[in-house]
Chains A and B, each alone.
Chain A
Amino acid sequence: MATPPDSATGPDPDPQKESHGWKWLLSAPALLVLLVAASGPLMIVAVYSFLSPGNVGGVEWDFSTEGWFRVFFSRDIFDPENVSWNWANLNVFWRTISLSLQTTLICAVLGFPTAWFIATRPPERRALWLFLITIPFWTNLLIRTFAIQELLRGNGLINTILMATGIIDEPLQLLFSNFAILLGMAYVFLPLMVLPLYAAMDKLDFRLVEAGYDLYASRVRVLWHVILPLVKPGFVAGSILVFIPSIGAYVTPRVLGGGRTMMLGNLIALQFGQGRNWPLGAALAMLLLIIVMAALVFYLRAVNGEEGKRRG
């Protein structure tokens, strides 16, 4: 748009620009909440991770890297110079990443047909199906997780049925295992995969599917060459939405994993509670943040890199 010549020299500011000048104030409440509730505590945790633990929790204001050191290494009680890998922690890290990836994968595999089913219903029916998907959110997460515990217990529903039908002779140890955590997390986070996948499929032009069939592709190849690449943004969004809360999960591993099968969230809580080692807990919390950020960057790079290669 051409600017009238007089306004360039005149003192009157562009009214459009002026209105932008104060409109950012509208976002001030949100910014304030973010600053106070997110950035502030984050800074505190970052600082705490470089202090010394207090005797009954809390921190002593002495600079120390011991918290970070203890994330990866442990010291012999009698000989502090004798350092070894902290396998207990490393195991928790590995379990956390592995279970989170598995959860994401399971949600993707289960979420795809679900989202496809919804997206191929008549438009007036889709709202109902989406509504049904969100029903689990109505009940408190803790209650739902305890309900799963009831299912998996030694004398719970699954074991009772399996024993009654004579498939097994004694109860299976289902509860307090990686399997139980995986089941619980996949159940809890599945809607977070289904909804963005549905959103991507809703935008999918189904004539492209027909075009694929028309050009001699089988159903599987249409899925692989046409549908999956086109709903990839849904997979990307869904994977991020599932993976991030999975990696920080606390309630599900606490209830279904018990005290033995911990994830990172439980390990952090332990340090701030019974462990009375706040700097270590703070360092672990920072590590969690770093893992999430690294995973995000790596994932988005991989996804966009592939795009770039195709274009190039």
Chain B
Amino acid sequence: MSAEIEITGLGKVFGQGAAAFRALSDINLSIGTGEFFTLLGPSGCGKTTLLRVIAGFEAPSMGSLKINGDEVAAKGPNARPVNTVFQNYALFPHMSVAQNIGFGLKMLGKPRAEIDATVAEMLRLVRMEPMAERKPSEISGGQQQRVALARALAPRPRVLLLDEPLSALDLKLRKEMQSELKRLQGETGITFVFVTHDQEEALTMSDRIAVMSAGRILQCGTPHDIYHAPSDRFVADFIGDTNFLTVPVAALDAQGATVTLPGGAQAPARLPEGMRPVTGEEVTAVIRPEQATLAEPGAGDMDGVVETSTFFGTDTHIHLKLADGQGFVLRRQNTADLAAPDPGSTLGIALGAGTLRILKD
């Protein structure tokens, strides 16, 4: 996969002197052609700023930004083969749906016939043919969303940037648009760079995800990697639910470490690359709630006392208290004849092999 976007050492500082604010620091990214790439992070993490730098609305303070091999850091948005789907769509209110979609092509100086043909094709692609002559104010939010997509796709950009495009839609419409986006990306083969703060959206849609915090990229990888092998505490906490256990290291070997669990049992734990704790050092070990299973008291890796349990339909979240007082959440798959555990009862917790990981702090 060749690199569509190549970002090296990029930074962005707003303001000057004492009021300066580093919105982006040392961003290094390579996004492949045809990839569905997601920038994920909480609000204020710099993901939208990074998107705006790629679009050309903000000039980077340092570093290089290449699109399809061309250095574009100094070029304006109208000189980049990149189009944006804005968070609130930003459709031109004085133009019809068709005029909105044709705007980019018109500005590129394409002949009338070609514009009309492309607009018709785009209307079909986003299933908006009957609405061509309506004004944006005369169509629903979901329809505006589709028009915004069609408008950004019509000039056939190399890269489509999407700035939290689904955040204004209700849940049902959002699910629909998620699959719609995947379909559109498949049909057009255009590289998508998608910004969201919704980890579930990121996990279900992306080929790769960059998790951002405080202007930096913490981890960049496939949804599987990000979920199962989070690089640090922030990523582990931000993506999905996680149990954080503070445990002492019992032994070290070539593959990883052995830690002493609350209650005294020992369990193997994977070590992140480059981390060599000493024996006896307290480290943070993580395990996802669905990676542990219930067992008879004493039969698992550790015991816990049930505090509460919450029924979620497909599964039940059981909150337990471990021997040393640390909390632990376990997610149990439900079946019709499985009753909720009684609060106060003691249960065994079995950790799946290789599921416990030690995190860099």
Contact = CB atoms under 8 A, between A and B. Distances in A.
Given A205-B90, A210-B77, A230-B94, A215 B57 contact: no
A221 B82 CA distance: 18
Nearest to B77: A213
A216 interface: yes
A213 B80 CA distance: 10
A215 B86 contact: no
Given A207-B88, A208-B92, A215 B104 contact: yes
Contact of B103 (A207, A225, A229, A230): A225
Contacts of A226: 92
Contacts of B108: 216
A230 B93 contact: yes
B84 interface: yes
Nearest to A210: B57
Contacts of A17: none
A215 B83 contact: yes
Contact of A229 (B78, B84, B94): B94
Interface in A196-246: 205, 207-208, 210-218, 221, 225-226, 229-230
B103 A215 contact: yes
Contacts of B93: 208, 230
A310 B94 contact: yes
Given A216-B78, A216-B155, A217-B78, A211 B90 contact: yes
B107 A211 contact: no
Contact of B107 (A205, A216, A229, A311): A216
Given A221-B107, A225-B103, A214 B83 contact: yes
Interface residues of A, number: 19
A173 B86 CA distance: 57
A216 B104 contact: yes
B92 A218 contact: no
Contacts of B55: 214
Contacts of A213: 56-57, 76-78
Nearest to A230: B94
A221 B108 CA distance: 11
Contact of B151 (A215, A230, A311): A215
Contacts of A216: 78, 104, 107-108, 155
Nearest to B133: A311
Given A215-B83, A216-B108, A207 B94 contact: no
Nearest to A312: B133
A211 B94 contact: no
B65 to A, nearest CB: 16
A208 B57 CA distance: 12
A212 B93 CA distance: 12
15 contacts: A205-B90, A207-B88, A207-B90, A210-B90, A211-B86, A213-B57, A213-B76, A214-B55, A214-B84, A215-B78, A215-B83, A215-B107, A217-B107, A310-B94, A310-B96
Given A210-B77, A216-B155, 17 more contacts: A207-B90, A208-B93, A210-B57, A210-B86, A211-B86, A211-B91, A213-B56, A213-B78, A215-B78, A215-B107, A216-B78, A217-B78, A217-B107, A218-B78, A221-B107, A230-B93, A230-B94
